């Protein structure tokens, strides 16, 4: 966890995973327990991959946005590999969402 910002009735928490930033949107007062659990898990050093962070947010119904950033402290090859992993993950998510929509018609 690197950053917290309050926007009226919501709070944005920024979670970094290598080159990917996760913007998690928690409702003030309603999602405090969920937010504290996630913060404790991260602060205790629990290893979470992109799919773990995304899956946790989906299960807890916490809205999120993901963004890839180029990091100058990583080599070009590491940045390219992380970009490939990021887009592969986003493609996998879209495939699952599309299959779910076809199955349930929403």
Vertex 40, ends 38 and 42: CA angle to 5°? 70
User: Tens digit of pLDDT for each residue in 56-88?
Assistant: 999 999 999 999 999 999 999 999 999 999 999
Number of residues in the chain: 106
Predicted model pTM = 0.80
* Burial of residue 60, with CB atoms counted within 10 A of its CB: 0-12 exposed, 13-18 middle, 19 or more buried: middle
Band of the pLDDT at 94, cuts 50, 70, 90?
confident
Alpha-helical (H) ranges within 1-106 are 32-43, 50-60, 76-104
């Amino acid at each position: 966890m690197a950053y917290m910002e309050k926007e009226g009735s919501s709070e944005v928490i920024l979670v970094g995973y290598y080159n990917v930033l996760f913007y998690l949107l928690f409702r003030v007062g309603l999602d405090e327990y969920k937010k504290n659990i996630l913060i404790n898990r991260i602060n205790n050093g629990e290893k979470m991959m992109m799919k773990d962070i995304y899956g946790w947010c989906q299960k807890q119904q916490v809205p999120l946005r993901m963004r890839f950033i180029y990091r100058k402290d990583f080599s070009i090859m590491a940045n390219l590999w992380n970009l490939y992993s990021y887009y592969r993950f986003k493609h996998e998510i879209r495939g699952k969402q599309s299959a779910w929509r076809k199955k349930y018609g929403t």
